[in-house]
Amino acid sequence: MGANEDNANHSGRLLVLDDDINVSATICAIADRAGFETQATTKAEEFFQLVMDWQPTHLIVDLVMPEVDGVETLHRLALSGHQGSVIVTSGLGGRVLEAASRAAEENGLRVSGVLPKPFTPAKLRSLLHQEPGDQKPPTATVQYVSPVSADMLATALAQKQLCVHYQPKIECTTEKVVGFESLVRWEHPERGMIFPDQFITLAERHGHIAELTRQVFDMSLAWFAANFLETDLKLAINMSPIVLADAQFPVWIKQACERYGVAPSQITLEITETSSMENPVASLEYLTQFRIKGFNLSIDDFGVGYSSLVQLARLPFSEMKIDKMFVMSASSSIESQKIATAVIGLANALDLNVTAEGVEDDWTLQFLCDLGCTHAQGYHIGRPMAPKLALQWLHDREKRP
Ligand code: C2E
Ligand code: MG
Ligand code: MG
């Protein structure tokens, strides 16, 4: 980290804001042994002065103090543009701590975790050595000045500017690769890579989603057929529920599979529920048609938005994907752990395969495996990759001892 590079003998400079001097002394003693320089204060003004003068690399902020409002302190810290690692602590329940740290993160602070009191030295040490948000993907949102338009998307489709990246999926117990998910990208000639969150809804609203889906299917099936026909790997493709309303689609997809020689049982259609699924009876019919034709059906992003228990109960899904929101935060949030546990239990009870997406560390992978999660996907395993890179990745992984 830049701020402590000038201090080679230390892991960093830690500043603690806590009204309980015994707690601060304990934190400082543990951090000191972990190689940190430390200072502590009970006063907000002194805290901000030290942030400016001493430039700490790490901050621990108590949420509840008699004379200082912890939430306000975090807010003010965010406004100052502070870029050090922040740990939020308090004796209040985990839910309050997590809400406060989420708010801090949304305001731009680099939060490395929450420290519920009482804590163990090991927990504190691990938080001190954790890089805040270090596995976060490079987001594409900030670099573009204006949103993309429907006309631009129509041009992109006409000029075949879309491409597909592939993210591997493994079996939790064996860590064997079981397949890939295809994720569309838009290679804009001037803007560079544009991610699907910026154009899928636009495509749905402006009547481009059917053409987009066709192009994605064509590219994905061609890649899959060229490399994996003789294997038992599977390919997952995302499908907007709007496409389901098109009565021609089940037939079109079946024919596309036949053209490439891919069996429908090798394909999983991942469906993200949205408010757009206006005609539930029709979607029930179309989804059933897909199952009858042999395709696997997955309810994507389960647990957020419209992917509800109602949909799970009435639609013929064969797989559930737990939304990455609960998975990415599992290692630091007891609440997320409980939700993941309940969702995996539910999937097991319904005899559904369950995939956790957004697995970013080994602890989470083991945690999910112990719960009975069947499959996992995430940056810890492999990022979405361009077609050739995905093949190379698989080749390298298979050579691993
Ligand atoms: P999704 O289907 O839920 O895909 C998972 C998203 O999470 C992908 O974002 C993936 O890059 C990201 N991801 C995977 N592992 C991790 C991780 O460990 N950490 C984090 N932070 N993120 C992870 P992406 O590629 O930007 O796609 C976003 C969404 O766009 C997809 O969510 C899917 O709903 C939609 N989408 C993508 N391709 C298509 C498509 O061809 N058709 C349709 N209709 N929707 C698509
Ligand atoms: Mg998906
Ligand atoms: Mg998802």
**Same structural domain for residues 296 and 169?**
yes
For tokens 């951090």, the residue is: 31
83 in the same domain as 122: yes
Rg of the chain (C-alpha set): 24
- Residue located via tokens 């870029």: 83
pLDDT tens-place string over residues 196-237 = 999 998 999 899 999 999 999 999 999 999 999 989 999 999
> Residues 264-286: what's their mean pLDDT?
76
Same domain, 31 and 129: yes
Residues 117 and 164 in one domain: no
Residue nearest atom 4 of ligand 1, based on CA coordinates: 183
Q: Is the pLDDT assigned to residue 3 strictly greater than 90?
A: no
Kindly state whether residues 83 and 45 are assigned to the same domain: yes
User: Would you say residue 270 has pLDDT above 60?
Assistant: yes
Nearest-CA residue for ligand 1 atom 41 is 184
Given 141, 172, 204, which residue is the final one in a domain? 141
Candidate from 134, 180, 183, 224 with most ligand 1 atoms within 8 A of CB, to mutate: 183
State which amino acid sits at residue 152. Answer: M
* Ligand 1 atom with the shortest distance to the CA of 239: 44
Please report the pLDDT score of residue 281 as a whole number. 66
Quickly state the pLDDT bin for 280 (edges 50, 70, 90): low
Query: What confidence score (pLDDT) does residue 292 get?
Result: 87
One domain, residues 76 and 207? no
The verdict on 134 and 158 lying in the same domain is no
State the CATH number of the domain containing residue 86.
3.40.50.2300
pLDDT for position 278: 58
User: Between vectors from CA 211 to CA 206 and to CA 216, what angle results, nearest 5°?
Assistant: 125
Q: Are residues 238 and 278 in the same domain?
A: yes
Please give the residue range of the domain that contains residue 318.
150-398
Rounded to the nearest angstrom, the distance between the alpha carbon of 300 and the centre of ligand 3 is 5
- Pairing between strand 192-194 and 319-322? unpaired
22 and 158 within one domain:
no
Last residue of a domain, one of 112, 141, 170: 141
The reported pLDDT for the residue numbered 18 is 94
Last residue of a domain, which of 115, 141, 167? 141
Judge if 200 and 322 occupy the same domain. Answer: yes
Residue pLDDT, tens place only, 15-49: 999 999 999 999 999 999 999 999 999 999 999 99
CB 375 within 8 A of CB 169: yes
- State pLDDT tens for residues 104-156: 888 889 999 889 888 999 999 999 988 776 434 433 333 334 688 999 999 99
CATH code: domain of residue 361: 3.20.20.450
Q: What is the pTM of this model?
A: 0.73
Strand partners for 168: 180
Q: Residue 35 Cα, ligand 1 centroid: separation in angstroms?
A: 39
Q: What is the C-alpha separation between 270 and 355, in angstroms, rounded?
A: 11
pLDDT band per the 50, 70, 90 thresholds, residue 9: low
305 & 236 share domain = yes
Residue-wise burial string across 250-260, b where 16 or more C-beta atoms lie within 10 A, e elsewhere: beebbebbeeb
Say how many domains are in the chain: 2
37, HSE (Cβ side, Cα atoms, 13 Å): 13
What is the 3 state secondary structure string of the chain? CHHHCCCCCCCEEEEEECCCHHHHHHHHHHHHHCCEEEEEECCHHHHHHHHHHHCCCEEEEECECCCCEHHHHHHHHHHCCCCCEEEEEECCCHHHHHHHHHHHHHCCCEEEEEEECCCCHHHHHHHHCCCCCCCCCCCCCCCCCCCCCHHHHHHHHHCCCEEEEEEEEEECCCCCEEEEEEEEEEEECCCEEECHHHCHHHHHHCCCHHHHHHHHHHHHHHHHHHHHCCCCCEEEEEECHHHHCCCCHHHHHHHHHHHHCCCHHHEEEEECCCCCCCCHHHHHHHHHHHHHCCCEEEEEEECCCCCCHHHHHHCCCCEEEECHHHHHCCCCCHHHHHHHHHHHHHHHHCCCEEEECCCCCHHHHHHHHHHCCCEECCCCCCCCECHHHHHHHHHHHHHCC
Mean pLDDT of 317-346: 92
Residue-wise pLDDT for 303-317, tens only, equals 886 667 877 887 889
Residue 181, pLDDT above cutoff 80: yes
Asked if 361 and 289 sit in the same domain, the reply is yes
Span 347-373, pLDDT tens digits: 999 999 999 999 999 999 999 999 999
Cα(183) to centroid(ligand 1), Å:
6
**What does the alpha-carbon distance between residue 266 and residue 229 come to, in Å, rounded to a whole number?**
9
pLDDT band at 61 (very low <50, low <70, confident <90, very high): very high
Least reliable range by pLDDT among 74-88, 121-135, 161-175: 121-135
